[in-house]
A and B are shown apart, each in its own frame.
Chain A
Amino acid sequence: MYEFDIERPASIVAAAKALNAEGAQALGGGQTLIPSLKQRLDQPATLVCLGGIAEMQGINASGNDLSIGGGTTHADVAAGAGAYPALAALAGNIGDPAVRNRGTIGGSLANNDPSADYPAAVLGSEAIVRTNLREIAADNFFDGMFATTLREGEIITRVDFVVPEKAAYAKFDQPASRFALVGVFVAQYGDHVRVAVTGASEGGVFRWAEAEAALAADFSPAALEGLSLSGDGMISDLHGSGDYRAHLVGVMAKRAVAAA
């Protein structure tokens, strides 16, 4: 780790101001950033800690709407998002207890690790990502591996979900990291279904349109029979080939539908 300064703003406005400074870097739960700093892979001048901002904390449920503060930890979502069981279950299976008690939903989304779980839930639930500047629909938020449409210094303040009629997340663990080798989130909203896939694609989280159409017509695992994805453009590494990941997307999609 190199030396850095740390600021602990108490409000979103103060945090945004601090992030305007040269070399400033937002710090959420630090579950990716801190290991990178320890490896000396990054050298921010100032870390702006978002953990002390009360207005970014907590979960508000109202009818079918669920709004989660950007600074809410995975453990708090697991325990407090009972109105959206599929989301709570997903949060409760991220990493390990240490990760879940530090890592935040805003941090995970801003990092957009191609194997992270939350991007699948957010894209699969057509959530709205709210920032200090604007609101961004999930379809417009993710922009490839480790990339989002967030601007420099922009802060995810809340994430708003509409609870679907049915939903589930099926994850197949990468054996070492237990990140998603493939994770599929399915959600049924009235006459349409969203299927979001994480872990598999070199382009990061994506929607599987063919599966969405099939499930909209018949929300059952059988509806996915015969559908397949190409291994081209899928991540291929020592934990699995692109073809294997493409195959797993089909398997996990069926399991998610069955569990929903």
Chain B
Amino acid sequence: MPKDHGIGASPKRREDVRFLTGAGNYTDDINVKGQAYVHFLRSDVAHGTLNGVDTAAAEAMPGVVRIFTGADFAEVGGLPCGWQVTDRFGEVMQEPAHPVLAQGKVRHVGDPIAAVVADTYAQARDAAEAIEYDIDELPAVIDMKAALSKGAPKVHDDLTSNLCFDWGFVEENKEAVEAAFAKAAHVTTLELVNQRLVANAMEPRVAVGDYHRATDEHTLYTTSQNPHVIRLLMGAFVLGIPEHKLRVVAPDVGGGFGSKIFHYAEEAFCTFAAKAINRPVKWTCSRSEAFISDAQGRDHVTKIELALDKSNNFTALRTDTHANMGAYLSTFAPSVPTWLHGTLMAGNYKTPLIYVNVKAVFTNTVPVDAYRGAGRPEATFQLERVIDKAARELGVDPIKLRRQNFITEFPYATPVAVEYDTGDYVATMDKLEEIADMGGFEKRRKASAKKGLLRGLGVNCYIEACGIAPSHLVGQLGARAGLYESATVRVNATGGISVMTGSHSHGQGHETAFPQVIADMIGIDESMIEIVHGDTSKVPMGMGTYGSRSLAVGGSAMVRAAEKVINKAKKIAAHLMEASDADIELKDGQFSVAGTDKSVAWGDVTLAAYVPHNYPLEELEPGLEETAFYDPANFTYPAGAYACEVEVDPETGKVTIERFTATDDFGTLVNPMIVSGQVHGGIGQGIGQALLEGCVYDDDGQLLTGSYMDYAMPRADDVPFYKVDHSCATPCTHNPLGVKGCGEAGAIGSPPSVVNAVVDALQRGGHEVTHIDMPLSPSRVWQAMQQG
């Protein structure tokens, strides 16, 4: 019987009532009395010297309050980077300045040159057109390898080159890896592109800055996945506002996928300008503007080599990746191709020797940072593609080759610095083979062939490091922040509970899932528990939501706080029942004395805490509210196996996904329905990357895919009905819930199986195609068939 409440039940998402009835409160719904509107004048060239900006004519336009340029921010800090990578040679990365508004140079199409604040948005936009600016266009660097060539134009004149860092991991393994390759029985090599993506959250970014002169208090309403992080970054590093004078609110947020983690110039601008003009300032990003101002994702160019012995055991792995940073370092950009990528290169396999080289490169493009999966999809894609290619070269079954090399004993210390605590890759693969009905593939293939279509089957495994992250570890790895989470459990006098969590929900369903945990711990109804998040004035501290960390880290903090509450409540109950603390048991919302029929209800205890007429005042403070911080001991390691079946139309190259099956090990499930939904969404995004999406710049740095006319997002009819299974669960060993995180798995695990399936279909059709770069658009697939 499925549970009907608590951990493991699937109540419908309570937040959907407001989302689906138009009653959400998104940042653009926030209008502060007297607000002005800002429009950013953005560079239309990718690279140029900004000689001057003349705002005189524009200042005189109707409704203009003030026009800001880079000069207004001369005394203000630039946007900080939250992660410092140390390169192969022990040197820290090159870290360029990132001004709020361009100073002296523009470095990508979309770089903000000036900001016009006016009474209405239309007036601001009109006035922006009257600004005269003088840019001497410079040659743009777009291609990463060209950017590193001798004499290439420099994105940042004060840096020695366009190389941000040259990272080797684990550098000490390099020679041993080379030696293993030298004596390998077989080496499979694959060169591939993990293309740049645009996040395209349904809700574009918005920022509203407000300032009260009488109290010197700032408020920023913003579309953020982590308002406390924005408060710290913007307050401490950009504007010099202490936390107690700066409130950051991220209300309902319509999807982030990583792109709303980062601190953006527009947030700092609205906060700064609100004080400068003593009037609230609002910015609403248009979809077109989002394409040139939201941090983008992926953009790796990789050569991967896999060495095998004569028994087909993996003996070594070597990768060489160029990772595009774009024109500036976005908040967590350096961590993505390094610590979120290199550490995952072992995958599900016991490859003993691994060396990862990553060159991070500045180009005249929009900055690149974390996007759903962040580094882990790039790692998984190259690894699972090269394994598939190896299997085909060796003439062995791709599943068998994977099984043969699976890690089977846990804990397992990989050669890339992480230790998997638990997992069962055989079980997820067994389950995959069963529910994907692989036995029936040949019959389905024949049916496709009768229709003139090529059918292929692709499989891959994945592992991810989630529950980000142990602070002591990430500190060693270059993080400039801790990655704990906090929660406050506030029990009200009549027994209802408010949980203030530093996790932020922007589609994940925290408001439903988190109460299921507390309800189980106390034995009360979920409706008695409310989740409060997204406001630095309400929540003590928070590191936010990304890296599939909310339940594993934020949920664990909540559990710790609830444990403190329960411990205190037991003491109160003991006093009420004149018993010893140690004899108090809590079950189904009743405190009882072990071995007796004495009990008091949860509500009696909470009332006593706030109406302490009969209360152990000498031993206990009144009230019932506790805060906990939780810093994980390790990452969590969700893993799984995915299978995709495609049909390829050999006449047009069009790929249709016919079946998609996912078996995931997420450890304990709190709300299986939400978990499945997260997997569905993730697979949809992964299929989007595999078949449709791709951000393309021309040689001059103009964005060719600047709208949905050319940037192909997946639509409902591009994806099949998925079959997903989460039953092969090995609970995480080091957090109190045993949870691993599920938000990114689908996006990480799905692209390789799609590409593997298309290659399989083409090879079965007699084409000597070994790889096609994503997106596998009809034209690319057709082109590949013409060549092979």
Residues of A within 8 A of B (CB): 1-2, 39-40, 172, 175-177, 179, 181, 238-241, 244, 247-248, 251
Q: Is there an interface contact between A248 and B709, defined as CB atoms closer than 8 Å?
A: no
Main secondary structure of the interface of A (DSSP, over half): loop
Q: Is there an interface contact between B652 and A238, defined as CB atoms closer than 8 Å?
A: no
Supposing A175-B712, A176-B712, A177-B709 touch, asked if A238 and B778 sit within 8 A by C-beta, the answer is no
Which chain B residue lies CB-closest to A240? B779
Residues of A within 8 A of B709 (CB): 176-177, 179
Q: B783 on the interface (CB 8 Å rule)?
A: yes
CB proximity to A under 8 Å, residues B729-787: 775, 777-779, 782-783
Cα distance, A151 to B136, chains bound together (Å) = 41
Q: Is there an interface contact between B778 and A241, defined as CB atoms closer than 8 Å?
A: no
Residues of B within 8 A of A251 (CB): 651-652
Query: What 1/0 flags go to B118-132 for Cβ under 8 Å of A?
Result: 000010011001000
Can you list 29 A-B pairs with a CB-CB distance of less than 8 A? A2-B126, A40-B125, A172-B654, A172-B778, A175-B691, A175-B775, A175-B777, A176-B709, A176-B710, A176-B711, A176-B712, A177-B708, A177-B709, A177-B710, A179-B709, A181-B778, A238-B694, A238-B696, A238-B705, A238-B710, A239-B710, A239-B779, A240-B777, A240-B778, A241-B779, A241-B783, A244-B779, A244-B783, A251-B652
Cα distance, A188 to B389, chains bound together (Å) = 49
Q: Is there an interface contact between A239 and B782, defined as CB atoms closer than 8 Å?
A: no
Q: How far is the CB of B513 from chain A (nearest CB, A)?
A: 34
CB proximity to A under 8 Å, residues B661-715: 691-692, 694, 696, 704-705, 708-713
Cα distance, A244 to B782, chains bound together (Å) = 8
Q: How far is the CB of B98 from chain A (nearest CB, A)?
A: 28
Which chain A residue lies CB-closest to B783? A244
Residues of B within 8 A of A177 (CB): 708-710
Residues of A within 8 A of B711 (CB): 176
Most buried by B among A179, A240, A241: A240
Residues of A within 8 A of B288 (CB): 39
Residues of A within 8 A of B129 (CB): 40
Q: How far is the CB of B684 from chain A (nearest CB, A)?
A: 15
Residues of A within 8 A of B783 (CB): 241, 244
Query: What 1/0 flags go to B644-667 for Cβ under 8 Å of A?
Result: 000000011010000000000000
Q: How far is the CB of B689 from chain A (nearest CB, A)?
A: 13
Supposing A244-B783, A248-B652, A251-B651 touch, asked if A175 and B708 sit within 8 A by C-beta, the answer is no
Q: Is there an interface contact between B777 and A239, defined as CB atoms closer than 8 Å?
A: yes
Which chain B residue lies CB-closest to A1? B122
5 closest A-B pairs by CB: A176-B712, A240-B779, A175-B712, A177-B709, A251-B651
Cα distance, A197 to B404, chains bound together (Å) = 53
Q: Is there an interface contact between A247 and B782, defined as CB atoms closer than 8 Å?
A: yes
CB proximity to A under 8 Å, residues B598-645: none
Residues of A within 8 A of B779 (CB): 239-241, 244
Q: How far is the CB of B120 from chain A (nearest CB, A)?
A: 12
Residues of B within 8 A of A240 (CB): 777-779
Most buried by B among A2, A175, A177, A179: A175
Q: Is there an interface contact between A175 and B652, defined as CB atoms closer than 8 Å?
A: no
Residues of A within 8 A of B692 (CB): 175-176
Most buried by A among B122, B652, B705: B652
Residues of A within 8 A of B712 (CB): 175-176
Which chain B residue lies CB-closest to A252? B652
Residues of B within 8 A of A238 (CB): 694, 696, 704-705, 710
Cα distance, A4 to B705, chains bound together (Å) = 30
Which chain A residue lies CB-closest to B775? A175
Most buried by A among B288, B704, B710, B775: B710
Residues of A within 8 A of B691 (CB): 175
Cα distance, A239 to B712, chains bound together (Å) = 10
Supposing A238-B710, A251-B651 touch, asked if A175 and B704 sit within 8 A by C-beta, the answer is no
Given contacts A175-B691, A238-B694, 13 further A-B contacts (CB under 8 A): A2-B126, A40-B125, A175-B712, A175-B775, A175-B778, A176-B705, A176-B713, A238-B705, A238-B710, A240-B778, A241-B783, A248-B652, A251-B652
Cα distance, A146 to B783, chains bound together (Å) = 29
Residues of B within 8 A of A1 (CB): 122
Q: Is there an interface contact between A172 and B652, defined as CB atoms closer than 8 Å?
A: yes
Residues of B within 8 A of A2 (CB): 126
Q: How far is the CB of B527 from chain A (nearest CB, A)?
A: 38
User: Which of B122, B126, B651, B708 contacts A176 (CB under 8 A)?
Assistant: B708
Cα distance, A248 to B782, chains bound together (Å) = 10
Which chain A residue lies CB-closest to B651? A251
Residues of B within 8 A of A244 (CB): 779, 782-783
Query: What 1/0 flags go to B471-492 for Cβ under 8 Å of A?
Result: 0000000000000000000000
Residues of B within 8 A of A175 (CB): 691-692, 712, 775, 777-778
Residues of A within 8 A of B654 (CB): 172
Cα distance, A2 to B125, chains bound together (Å) = 10
Cα distance, A247 to B781, chains bound together (Å) = 14
Cα distance, A189 to B710, chains bound together (Å) = 37
Cα distance, A172 to B779, chains bound together (Å) = 11
Which chain A residue lies CB-closest to B692? A175
Query: What 1/0 flags go to B43-74 for Cβ under 8 Å of A?
Result: 00000000000000000000000000000000
Residues of B within 8 A of A247 (CB): 782
Which chain B residue lies CB-closest to A2? B126
Q: How far is the CB of A61 from chain B (nearest CB, A)?
A: 32
Cα distance, A240 to B783, chains bound together (Å) = 9
Which chain A residue lies CB-closest to B653? A244
Which chain B residue lies CB-closest to A179? B709
Cα distance, A211 to B204, chains bound together (Å) = 48
Which chain B residue lies CB-closest to A115? B709
Q: How far is the CB of A159 from chain B (nearest CB, A)?
A: 26
Which chain A residue lies CB-closest to B654? A172
Residues of B within 8 A of A39 (CB): 288
Query: What 1/0 flags go to B279-315 for Cβ under 8 Å of A?
Result: 0000000001000000000000000000000000000
Which chain B residue lies CB-closest to A3? B122
Most buried by A among B122, B125, B691, B778: B778
CB proximity to A under 8 Å, residues B408-453: none
Residues of A within 8 A of B782 (CB): 244, 247
Which chain B residue lies CB-closest to A245? B779
Which chain B residue lies CB-closest to A241? B779
Cα distance, A240 to B653, chains bound together (Å) = 11
Most buried by A among B694, B710, B712, B779: B779
Cα distance, A134 to B704, chains bound together (Å) = 40
Cα distance, A203 to B651, chains bound together (Å) = 25
Q: How far is the CB of A34 from chain B (nearest CB, A)?
A: 14
Q: How far is the CB of A254 from chain B (nearest CB, A)?
A: 9
Which chain B residue lies CB-closest to A39? B288
Residues of A within 8 A of B126 (CB): 2
Cα distance, A40 to B288, chains bound together (Å) = 12
CB proximity to A under 8 Å, residues B97-139: 122, 125-126, 129
Residues of A within 8 A of B696 (CB): 238
Cα distance, A247 to B126, chains bound together (Å) = 46
Which chain A residue lies CB-closest to B704? A238
Cα distance, A117 to B288, chains bound together (Å) = 26
Cα distance, A177 to B777, chains bound together (Å) = 13
Cα distance, A79 to B769, chains bound together (Å) = 45
Cα distance, A181 to B710, chains bound together (Å) = 12
Q: How far is the CB of A60 from chain B (nearest CB, A)?
A: 34
Residues of A within 8 A of B122 (CB): 1
Cα distance, A251 to B782, chains bound together (Å) = 12
Q: How far is the CB of B340 from chain A (nearest CB, A)?
A: 29
Most buried by B among A176, A179, A239: A176
Cα distance, A98 to B708, chains bound together (Å) = 16
Cα distance, A238 to B697, chains bound together (Å) = 10
Cα distance, A240 to B781, chains bound together (Å) = 11
Cα distance, A181 to B709, chains bound together (Å) = 12
Q: How far is the CB of B283 from chain A (nearest CB, A)?
A: 18
Residues of B within 8 A of A248 (CB): 652
Residues of A within 8 A of B125 (CB): 40
Residues of A within 8 A of B708 (CB): 176-177
